[in-house]
Amino acid sequence: MSSGAAASGNWGFVDVTSASGASSQFRFEFGYSETRDMMPAGVAAGDIDNDGDIDLIIPQGDYLPLRVLRNLGNGGFQSVAAQVGLNLTGNVAAGALLADLDNNGDLDLVLTGLRGFGTRLYLNQSGQYTEATAAWGLAGSTIDAYSAAAGDIDGDGWLDLAVSHWDNRTGAAPTSGHLWRNSGSGFTDIDVSSGINVAYTGPDYSFSPHLVDFDDDGDVDLLMASDFGTSKAFRNLGNGQFQMLDPLLFDDENGMGADVGDYDNDGDLDWFVSSIYDPAGVPVAGQGITGNRLYRNDGNGVFVDVSAAAGVRQGYWGWGSCFADFNQDGWLDIFHVNGMPFGNHPVFNADPSRLFVNQGDGTFVEQALTLGIDDTRQGRGIACFDYDRDGDIDIYIANNEGNGRLYRNDAPAANHGLGVRLRTGGANAQAVGARLRLRLDGQIQTRVLMAGSHFQSSSPIEAHFGLGPATRADALEIDWPDGRTTCIAEPDAQALLTVDDPDRVFATRD
């Protein structure tokens, strides 16, 4: 197993946007009219046609129609918005989430947006999308919505929603609309009944939610990365109520994007929150200047800020973020995009994306430009996924007022990976919330299947493990959402291993 040292051998990223046909543009017809216009640009990655390849859905603002790209499985994409019923135009959709909300085995689409767009739902029936916003109880949710995440907070087999609502225009708080319970035929706003409404009595600057069991007690909790020092963590008490952790634990100043992962391989889920680092040390818009935060989970949801020691603070004006083992050495790295078009402070106009490579000792080394990720546009949303099914994790960047970029990862040839997806055959078909542990050479890597949100974005509901030079692991253990466990002995390195609930492997793809 690798020690976690930074990239060795021939490793790098290649821009394949044009060659793959994965171009996109997020634009406003008349440019920026206010601050909130500078924030959107999302992307959702998932297998919308159940052919095994990861497709893309990309909002493009009010100037261009929604972009739907079918992955052809040969390194290329085909535009299919009209064919799948998503030829949406003239709206201000900003973020996107793919998750199976009606338990039919297909990935449904949640779009979030501005100026009355709110939160909208499109159900997938065998590859055809139909809007169900009103029928499923979301028609009244028209306040600005940025990011959405899905998870089963009450254990009933239906994926519930968490939605963020940054708004600096009135100072009034939308004390509802953050947490939505799925009954199987519609959504109900449960901010008040769950108790999280008490955290939103002042201005709401929420940006990036995650529904994930951060205290490992079997219940799905809520993390909400938020602007202006308002990031929050809510513990699910298992009785329909949520309890907010001490807000003083989280001092990220300007939480924007976020992701959850076990970066130190101790079995607990850590929380990375992108924020603002100003090299000049001069705030120009009331923002903080001390940068990103890495909150290490020391067990049972006890978070400790280790940002400085880890070396991940300097990310400029950070946005969409993801944990992934890009070099397949067995340690999760951190990637995030950034930017803010302030004319009076140009340092954020063309700041480079950041790739913090995990050294395996609790520290990271930034290597984005060295490895070929040269995007300096206004990055907002991202998806981290294996687009070409070669076994390593690639990156899609959605840029505000600019072109999106797809970077193919050519991971070190000496290292191998294992991709895993789960299928229940019934409720919660993609097993969102399942916890997977890979054992290799005395080390344990932990992954949890999540649906959204890096920031206005979602990656596929799949797990990826780096095996280093090994060609097989010792064991793969899966804790399914319903409490059952599967153990697979000595799984081989492969791009995609599909595991059927509860016990058998029914398909592999190399």
pLDDT digit string, tens, across residues 398-407: 999 999 999 9
* Span 143-159, average pLDDT: 97
Q: How far is CA 284 from CA 316, 340, 343, in A?
A: 13, 11, 10
Residues 6+ apart with CB under 8 A from 163: 112, 119, 141, 145, 146, 147, 148, 177, 178, 179, 180, 209
pLDDT range class, residue 141, cuts 50, 70, 90: confident
Task: Provide the terminal-to-terminal Cα distance of the chain, rounded to the nearest Å.
Answer: 22
DSSP H helices, 386-496, are: none
Q: What is the pLDDT of residues 189-238, one digit of tens each?
A: 999 999 999 999 888 999 999 999 999 999 999 999 999 999 999 999 99
How far is residue 258 from each of residues 267, 292, 318, 321, measured CA to CA in Å?
A: 19, 10, 10, 5
Residue of 436, 508, 497, 438 whose CA lies nearest to 470: 438
Contact 381, 95 (CB under 8 A): yes
Task: For each of the domains in the chain, give its residue range(s) and CATH number, in order of start.
Answer: 41-321+333-410 (2.130.10.10), 416-509 (2.60.40)
Name residue, tokens 């990036």. Answer: 208
> Average pLDDT, stretch 450-469?
98
pTM, full prediction: 0.95
Q: How many residues does the chain have?
A: 510
Mean pLDDT of 94-115: 97
Percent of the residues in the chain that have a pLDDT greater than 70, as a whole number = 94
User: Which region among 4-18, 146-160, 480-494 has the lowest average model confidence (pLDDT)?
Assistant: 4-18
Q: What is the pLDDT of residue 3?
A: 37
Q: How far apart are CA 11 and CA 409, in angstroms?
A: 8
* pLDDT surpassing 50 at residue 507: no
Average pLDDT over residues 442-447: 98
Owner of token pair 């972009």: 67
| Residue 150, SS3 per DSSP | strand
